[in-house]
């Protein structure tokens, strides 16, 4: 009894301290981290939305927010940190269901650890595709597919597992309905250009992406939309045979444009090191 109470106080104070200190999103360090990934591109030539299958398919109980988190199947450390910051039990009381999106690691000896982690936390969503950064679009679409068919929530939040969010601030924002329901809200990246230097690791061929400028898209660190928009994005993805493998560009840029959905700037949610 006493121990449980101490543990509860510990959990609550951890969340409280985190929400006071780590708060929001650190754009500067993330920019450095994500730049490479931002400029990498290719197509996968398959009708993938029909191909994505769930290997591990958790329940979606929340009626308010479903939170999908891109995560590495090979590295549980960010998931552990996020679970410490926001334990599922606390998210549950806030009507939030969080799942981590994983692929299949090449190394089969890791599979059993993932299964064990899933049995412990019930918060892993795993797809039947190889874990690889070139399959990030598949992973992201898997999250939208799962949320579309399993959740009754009003809103969807997407983030990366190395992004630190103030979920309480976001919740307040959502509860006050300060978000446009027919938009995708996040950190807007405008007029980004593909790299055309052939010896660059992140070279984008004209075949990969024929235009000179990407459609405006959102940083994958974090975005919010309504579940309705998430469903529309997923259903629209079935029209595509080719999947541009930078998921942020493909989903919040190309697919979004195809659906006629607007981007909403939430840039003041983000903090920088230069304050
Ligand atoms: C969660 O959902 C239930 C049922 O709709 C509702 O009664 C409760 O107030 C909600 N809790 C929060 C924190 O939003
Ligand atoms: C993406 O996943 C598919 C399906 O498992 C696999 O065939 C393909 O090799 C993966 N792509 C990369 C670049 O690993
Ligand atoms: C992709 O597959 C789905 C389901 O089989 C099908 O309904 C859709 O027409 C396909 N799309 C394309 C472009 O082939």
pLDDT by residue for the chain (275 residues), tens digit each? 454 544 444 444 444 333 333 333 333 333 332 322 322 334 445 566 677 899 999 999 988 999 999 999 999 999 999 999 999 999 999 999 999 999 999 998 999 999 999 999 999 999 999 999 888 999 999 999 999 999 999 999 999 999 888 899 899 989 888 888 899 999 999 999 988 888 876 677 787 788 899 999 998 889 999 999 999 999 998 887 777 878 999 999 999 999 999 999 986 665 543 33
Q: Tokens 């959502």: give the residue.
A: 174
Is residue 194, in this structure, part of any structural domain at all?
Answer: yes
Is residue 262, in this structure, part of any structural domain at all?
Answer: yes
Q: Which pLDDT score is estimated for 201?
A: 65
Is residue 177, in this structure, part of any structural domain at all?
Answer: yes
- The set of residues, in sequence order, having a beta carbon less than 8 Å from that of 1 and lying 6+ positions away, is none
Is residue 190, in this structure, part of any structural domain at all?
Answer: yes
- For ligand 1, whether the C-beta of 94 sits within 6 Å is yes
Helix (H) or strand (E) holding 124: strand 124-130
Q: Which pLDDT score is estimated for 207?
A: 77
Is residue 275, in this structure, part of any structural domain at all?
Answer: no
In a 13 Å sphere around the CA of 38, the CA atoms on its Cβ side amount to: 21
In whole angstroms, give the CA distance from residue 92 to residue 9.
17
Tally Cβ neighbours within 10 Å of residue 249. Answer: 28
CA distances from residue 77 to 81, 102, 134, 168, 173 in whole angstroms, order as listed: 6, 14, 21, 23, 29
pTM given for the model: 0.81
Most informative mutation of 43, 44, 45, 50 for ligand 3 (most atoms within 8 A of CB):
50
Lining residues, ligand 2, CB within 6 Å: 129-130, 132, 134-135
3-class DSSP state of 72? coil
Q: What is the count of structural domains for the chain?
A: 1
DSSP-assigned letter for residue 73 = T
Is residue 20, in this structure, part of any structural domain at all?
Answer: no
DSSP-assigned letter for residue 216 = P
Q: Which pLDDT score is estimated for 196?
A: 85
Which of 97, 96, 88, 102 lies closest to 54 in space, CA to CA?
102
CATH number for the domain that contains residue 256: 3.90.550
Q: Are 104 and 73 in contact (CB under 8 A)?
A: yes
Q: Which pLDDT score is estimated for 6?
A: 46
Ligand 1 centre to CA of 227 (Å) is 17
Is residue 79, in this structure, part of any structural domain at all?
Answer: yes
Most informative mutation of 60, 61, 62, 64 for ligand 1 (most atoms within 8 A of CB):
64
Ligand 3 centre to CA of 132 (Å) is 24
Ligand 2 centre to CA of 220 (Å) is 21
Of the chain, the end-to-end C-alpha distance in Å amounts to: 44
Segments forming the whole domain that contains residue 137:
48-269
Ligand 1 centre to CA of 96 (Å) is 10
Is residue 41, in this structure, part of any structural domain at all?
Answer: no
Q: Are 167 and 96 in contact (CB under 8 A)?
A: yes
Please name the residue whose Cα sits nearest to atom 5 of ligand 2. Answer: 129
């Amino acid at each position: 009894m006493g121990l449980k109470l101490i543990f509860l106080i510990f959990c609550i104070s951890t969340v409280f301290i985190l929400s006071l200190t780590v708060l929001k999103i650190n754009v500067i360090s993330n920019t450095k981290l994500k730049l490479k990934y931002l400029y990498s591109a290719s197509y996968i030539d398959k009708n993938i939305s029909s191909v994505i299958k769930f290997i591990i398919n958790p329940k979606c109980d929340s009626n308010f927010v479903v939170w999908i988190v891109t995560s590495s199947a090979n590295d549980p450390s960010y998931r552990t940190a996020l679970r410490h910051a926001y334990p599922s039990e606390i998210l549950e009381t806030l009507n939030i269901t969080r799942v981590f999106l994983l692929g299949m690691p090449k190394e089969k000896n890791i599979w059993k650890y993932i299964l064990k982690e899933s049995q412990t936390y019930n918060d892993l969503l795993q797809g039947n595709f190889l874990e690889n950064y070139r399959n990030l679009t598949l992973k992201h679409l898997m999250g939208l597919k799962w949320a579309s068919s399993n959740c009754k929530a009003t809103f969807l939040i997407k983030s990366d597992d190395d992004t630190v969010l103030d979920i309480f601030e976001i919740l307040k924002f959502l509860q006050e309905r300060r978000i446009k329901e027919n938009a995708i809200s996040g950190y807007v990246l405008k007029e980004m250009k593909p790299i055309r230097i052939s010896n660059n690791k992140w070279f984008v061929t004209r075949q990969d992406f024929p235009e000179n400028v990407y459609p405006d898209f959102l940083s994958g660190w974090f975005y919010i939309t309504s579940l309705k928009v998430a469903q529309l994005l997923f259903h629209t993805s079935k029209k595509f045979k080719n999947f541009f493998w930078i998921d942020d560009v493909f989903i919040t840029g190309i697919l979004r444009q195809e659906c006629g959905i607007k981007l909403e700037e939430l840039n003041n949610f983000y903090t920088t090191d230069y304050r």
